[in-house]
Structures are given as C-alpha cells and as structure tokens.
Amino acid sequence: MPASTKNIKIESSTDLTPETLKHLNEYLATLEPKDILEWAINCLPNLYQTTAFGLTGLVTLDMINKISLDRAQPHLVPLIFLDTLYHFKETLDLAQRCVSTYNVPLKVYKPFNTDTVDAFEAEYGHKLWETDEDSYDYLVKVEPARRAYEELNVRSVITGRRRSQKGAREAIPILEVDDTGLIKLNPLAYWDFQQVWSYIRANEVPYNALVDQGYRSIGDWHSTKAPVNGDDERSGRWVGKQKTECGLHKDYFKMRAAFMAAKKKKEAQQFQQNIVAA
C-alpha cells in the first residue's frame, strides 16, 4: 500500500471507496491503538469520540490525552456523551471526573425536549424500554446521536467497540462507513478485555466504580447487570433478550422509519380513544 494512501487526508466518506477502506484496514491492523488514533487525528475529518465512559472508551480517552500532551496541544478530540436519563449515578460521576482529569470538551445530548426522567415518562410513559424497546432506543440514543452529529457537523467518530465483545461486534473492522455516511473508527477492535483492563490499571485511568462490583459493560441501570457469562463481558446487558446493541450502531434509517410508524399508530389509537370518550 503506497505511503501516500496511508496518510491521505480524508475529506468525507466519499473518499473511502470499498477498495480504499480495504487497504486502509489492512494497514491499520498492523498498528497499535495509539498509532491508529494518531493516524485518525491526522487524517479523518471533524473527528469526535462518542462514549458512555466504558472501559474501552476510557482507554481511548487516555491515549488521545497522551497524544495531545506529546503535541503540547489541548485535548484533540472532543467527547459526545448521550445522557439517556437512565444512567447509573456512578457513570455520571465518572463523566465529570474525566472532564476534570483530562480537561476534555464534553458535549452532552439528552432525549429531545426532555431533560429529566419525569418529563420523559410524562411524554412517553413508564418503562418504555419494556413496552416499546425499539422506540426507547431511538429516543434515548439514536435521535440524540443524529442530532449531535448534525449540530456539531461530525464527520467521523471514535467508538469503543471490540471484536471480543461478541454479538454483532465479532467481525467489525477498524475503519468503516455506516449507512448515513458517518465514518466510524474502532481503534481497539482487536483488543480483548484483559488488554483493556491491564491498560486501565497500568496507566491509572479513572473508571466506573461499578467495575469493582463485578460489572464489565455498563449501560442504563434498568438493563445492566454483572456478566452472567464469564466469557462474555456484555452478557449482563439486556439479560433474557435477543439483543446485543442499543440501536446506535444499527441502520439509522430503519430505526427512524420504525419509530415514526410506531408513533403514527399510537396517535391513531389515541384519536380513536378520544372519539369513543367523546
């Protein structure tokens, strides 16, 4: 692969043809995660890190901080945090601790027009994650993320996904383009949990207090438990359901279409109920 291709300045996802993506992934697979991040900072357009402050995201955050210090620059990649309103208190505390520790810009996005659980449940009902799981995922993750990308003009994002997390992640590449044209970088795609945890401890990276209680993958409090399978760190998520993702890495257009259809159906039912009541 020519050096010029390795170091190409990517202006948009249209520069990443299938052939270019293939070559870049072959090249990036030979690098350590920190070197992958340096490449991304140099080559990817309008780069942000999306994180819920899981262990992999924390490793990435620490590595970017080291790169920034090496270059004598402020933290080079801003963070996007999707506050679903149902995060553990420990997660929210960690977010603020990371902002202080790394002096990193943090952009927080919540469900549209609902800043509190009470407001959200007044609009959409109690335990929406049980009554309409897909709509819940769309409202607390998918729509806020899309809004963040549009408002911040995000063109590339760094994720915390790894192949060892199994499920839909088992074969993810380091570099990919999703259905919306968003460039996604998975710099630790080839690391396993032990490598992540060893880095956290060796570099004294702040981490979620729930990890010391046995948790490995931490999302909303209502759908997170300690792993039920020691070989699968995400087995504590959505226990008892055929689900491995929250919707953030699914087809955006399908998620939006399904949500709009469900919303239209609900409005029609409400309309009929109002007629009967009248």
Catalytic residues: 246
Residue owning tokens 């994002």: 157
Tokens of 9: 């300045």
Count of beta carbons in the 10 Å neighbourhood of residue 94: 24
Is 40:185 a contact under the CB 8 Å cutoff?
Answer: yes
Residue 157 host element (H or E): strand 156-158
| Cα separation, 155 vs 91, whole angstroms | 26
Query: Which run of H or of E encompasses 197?
Result: helix 193-202
Distance CA 149, CA 145 (A): 6
Under 8 Å between Cβ of 144 and 218:
no
Query: How are beta strands 183-185 and 175-177 bridged, if at all?
Result: antiparallel
Beta bridge partners of 108: 81
